[in-house]
Amino acid sequence: MSTYVYGIDFGTSNSSITIWDVEKRALVRDPRIAGVESSFMYFPYTLRKDPPLIGDAAKLRYVQDEMRGRFFQAIKTILPNRTFSETIVNNQPFRLEDLIAFFLRFLKAKGDSVTRQDVKRVVMGRPAVFSTDPEEDALAQARLLRAAQLAGFEEVHFQYEPIAAAFAYEARIERPERVLVGDFGGGTSDFTVVQLDPRRQGLTDRIGDILATGGLPVAGNKYDSATMWHKLTPRFGRGATYESWGKRLEVPDTLHRQICQWDQIVFLRNAPKLDLIWRLARLSDNPPGFERLESLVKDNQGFAIFQMIEGAKIALTSQDTAPLRFRHPRIVLDETLTLDEFNRNSADLTAQITGYLDRFLATARIAPSSVETVFLTGGTSLIRSLRGEFVARFGAEKIRDGGEFTSVGDGLALSAPLFFPALHR
């Protein structure tokens, strides 16, 4: 019987696996599972039934293949989408759980290489809210459960990701603290208020320590979309006009709304949409913009554009300006994004997150003054305007961070005694 439990953080942007040693009651640290893996999946075009490439290797091969195969990013965000049944890749049908199982199987294999066991137990992370629709939320968890089973796990438990982050933070403290955890990833922003105490770490009954939990589907990917919309879509024709029956009309923004999500750009690759873009390149007052849009769609450059945008967002966590430079024969961009611009363009997103936070605390009847510590984790927590809102509400002296990309995975493994108490007697 295996003496280990895995904690798997399957994230929108990054994923990780952590190992709990039941006998030693401690996390297993090993360089083979350290850090995170990008949540990418790539199927090169082939007639063989080969498994996809996973993680950073998927991105590298996708770029090497000049973006010709089928590339998946942020598939976690599709989990609550009941209209998605299956997709065809290289003439093979795949359900969503089949695709996610490839990724979980990859992570399991990394863990098994360390433990040298076929570990069957796992604590899977899930956001506080996959969807505000209860049926969609339940569907998302059911799909993730099925994916874990397909990947080879037999005993699967779910832990809220912000609670897992709280348990990871608990391992760092020496005295009891009432903590607000903000976990900001690519797809969701999740919150938990929990009473932490290092003396209670590893106990099997912690439900009474969790005072409130919640979240909303607004996070890092939408900040990228905001940069695309405000800063770059004018370079692809947004705001152009055309003449119709003697009147000057503005081009509807439908096309440009769609290119603000890179994975939606592929749906413009059909004859009617490409014909419309071709005509606008000839009839509008911004032909170069629509020529760039045509190339963006036909040459499959959406992923590369959004990698550039994400890079600028990351740069602005420590700098006041960031370049938006893109070199493609038909798409040449040389822009500078300032921190002020970024903050203005994403102000509505930050307001949505902090507005939810205020309501969340009020509903739970938790006064901000009663929160002793604010632990911020996840890559999006590094955005300065968002972080500034927490400083304004709670004071800089209460803010703690660290392990922005690994704390959830650690906390999931640390949750093992809660879900597998029989192993810890």
Contact 341/231 with Cβ under 8 angstroms?
yes
Give the tokens for residue 338. Answer: 């300032």
Domain boundaries, the chain: 221-339
35: pLDDT confidence band, cut at 50, 70 and 90? confident
Q: Specify the higher pLDDT residue, 340 or 165.
A: 340
- Whether 112 shows a pLDDT value over 70: the answer reads yes
Using the Cα atoms of residue 383, residue 385, residue 386 and residue 390 in order, give the sign of their dihedral.
Answer: positive
Beta pairing partners, 331: 328
User: What is the average per-residue pLDDT within 116-122?
Assistant: 97
Q: One-letter amino acid identity for 337?
A: L
Contacts of 327 (CB under 8 A, 6+ apart): none
- Whether 382 shows a pLDDT value over 80: the answer reads yes
Q: How far apart are the C-alpha atoms of 229 and 258, rounded to whole Å? A: 10
Report pLDDT digits (tens) over 277-305.
Answer: 999 999 999 999 999 999 999 998 998 99
- Whether 403 shows a pLDDT value over 80: the answer reads no
- DSSP annotation of 232 reads I
- Whether 45 shows a pLDDT value over 90: the answer reads no
Q: How far apart are the C-alpha atoms of 118 and 126, rounded to whole Å? A: 23
- Whether 342 shows a pLDDT value over 60: the answer reads yes
- For 132, counting Cβ atoms within 10 Å of its Cβ (0-12 exposed, 13-18 middle, 19+ buried), the class is exposed
User: What is the average per-residue pLDDT within 16-41?
Assistant: 94
Name the average pLDDT for the chain: 93
* The pLDDT value given to residue 345: 98
Strands (E), 289-388: 321-328, 331-338, 373-377
